């Protein structure tokens, strides 16, 4: 099965993937991505903020990205994401497998086809099979992780302490700016999708000092080798483990 990795802040095409740049035109715009080879099998790498990290969350062309993956024949996507913690017991470096989301975005194109009424079921937003593979491989690597609910804000600013408090009261565990509409478009496209989030900071108010983007990148860099070890184990399973879920 063809697999793609969507890399968030601080995640680069590691030499593991041996990447070659390419681009694809979609009805929503052009997408630059990378062809990688992993043990002889193709893996697509798509840096969400582009290679130079110049695209802010609210300007990412999510429709073009997911449509490109669909057109490339990708069936399973593992996304990575940097997030802020909404709970004091999730320190920087914690790994969270997203299992639910709360959508607080405001002005994003949420569907491929806006001429048709389409109401998709979202009882299970993230692919249970990819989640299971991630859980098993994280445990084998002795890397602690937990499942959690992701709150997506519009960004690009960070939250106020009042927002962090509200999101936590609503049941959110972590906050970020990019998972919507990435996950919802993946479901619409019939692609299995899961996201491994890395906590890079406490949310505003839990953390008393001002939050800086450099801090986010520092924590992601510190976690890069763990992520690489995990990808080495997970990618072959995503390529070959049988598919029985209902994502497609
Ligand atoms: N808020 C929103 N997005 C983020 C954060 C945060 O605290 N940290 C990393 N991405």
pLDDT tens readout for residues 180-198:
999 999 999 999 999 999 9
Record the tokens describing residue 170, joined without a space: 């609503």
Query: Which three-class secondary structure state does DSSP give residue 76?
Result: strand
Alpha-helical (H) ranges within the chain are 62-71, 128-140, 161-169, 179-189, 213-222, 224-240
CA of 115 to the centre of ligand 1 (A): 33
Residues contacting 73, CB < 8 A, separation 6+: 2
The confidence score (pLDDT) of residue 130 equals 98
Regarding the beta carbon of 176 and ligand 1, being less than 6 Å apart is answered yes
- Stated pTM of the model: 0.95
Regarding the beta carbon of 175 and ligand 1, being less than 6 Å apart is answered yes
d(CA 125, CA 140): 25
CA of 10 to the centre of ligand 1 (A): 13
Helix (H) or strand (E) holding 20: strand 20-26
Which atom of ligand 1 lies at the shortest distance from residue 57's CA? 3
CA of 177 to the centre of ligand 1 (A): 7
| Contact (Cβ atoms closer than 8 angstroms) between residue 126 and residue 187 | no
d(CA 19, CA 153): 31
Average pLDDT across the chain, whole number = 93
Regarding the beta carbon of 83 and ligand 1, being less than 6 Å apart is answered yes
The answer to whether the Cα torsion of 20, 18, 185, 171 is positive or negative is negative
Rounded to whole angstroms, what are the CA distances from 6 to 21, 137, 167, 183, 190? Answer: 14, 19, 25, 11, 16
Q: What structural domains does the chain harbor?
A: 3-240 (3.40.50.1580)
Task: Identify the segments of the chain with pLDDT beneath 50.
Answer: none
Residue owning the nearest CA to atom 7 of ligand 1: 84
Burial 156-190 (b: 16+ CB within 10 A, else e): eebbeeebbbebbeeebbbbbbbbbbbbbbbbbbe
By CB neighbour count within 10 A (0-12 exposed, 13-18 middle, 19+ buried), where does 127 fall?
buried
Cα 234 from chain centroid (whole Å): 15
């Amino acid at each position: 099965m063809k697999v793609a990795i969507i890399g968030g802040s601080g995640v680069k095409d590691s030499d593991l993937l041996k990447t070659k740049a390419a681009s694809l035109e979609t009805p929503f715009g052009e997408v630059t991505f990378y062809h990688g080879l992993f043990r002889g099998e193709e893996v697509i790498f798509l840096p969400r903020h582009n290679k130079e990290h110049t695209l802010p969350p609210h300007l990412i062309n999510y429709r073009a990205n997911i449509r490109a993956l669909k057109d490339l024949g990708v069936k399973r996507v593992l996304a990575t994401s940097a997030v802020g913690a909404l709970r004091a017991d999730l320190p920087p470096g914690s790994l969270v497998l997203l299992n639910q989301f709360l959508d607080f975005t405001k002005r994003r194109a949420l569907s491929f086809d806006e001429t048709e009424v389409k109401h998709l079921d979202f009882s299970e937003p993230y692919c249970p099979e990819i989640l299971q593979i991630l859980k098993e491989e994280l445990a084998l690597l002795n890397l602690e992780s937990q499942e959690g609910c992701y709150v997506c804000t519009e960004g690009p600013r960070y939250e106020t302490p009042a927002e962090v408090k509200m999101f936590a009261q609503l049941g959110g565990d972590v906050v970020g700016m990019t998972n919507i509409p990435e996950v919802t478009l993946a479901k619409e496209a019939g692609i299995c999708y899961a996201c491994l989030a890395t906590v890079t900071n406490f949310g505003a108010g839990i953390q008393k000092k001002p939050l800086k983007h450099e801090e986010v990148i520092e924590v992601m860099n510190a976690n890069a080798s763990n992520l690489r070890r995990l990808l080495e184990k997970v990618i072959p399973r995503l390529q070959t483990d049988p598919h029985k879920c209902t994502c497609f």
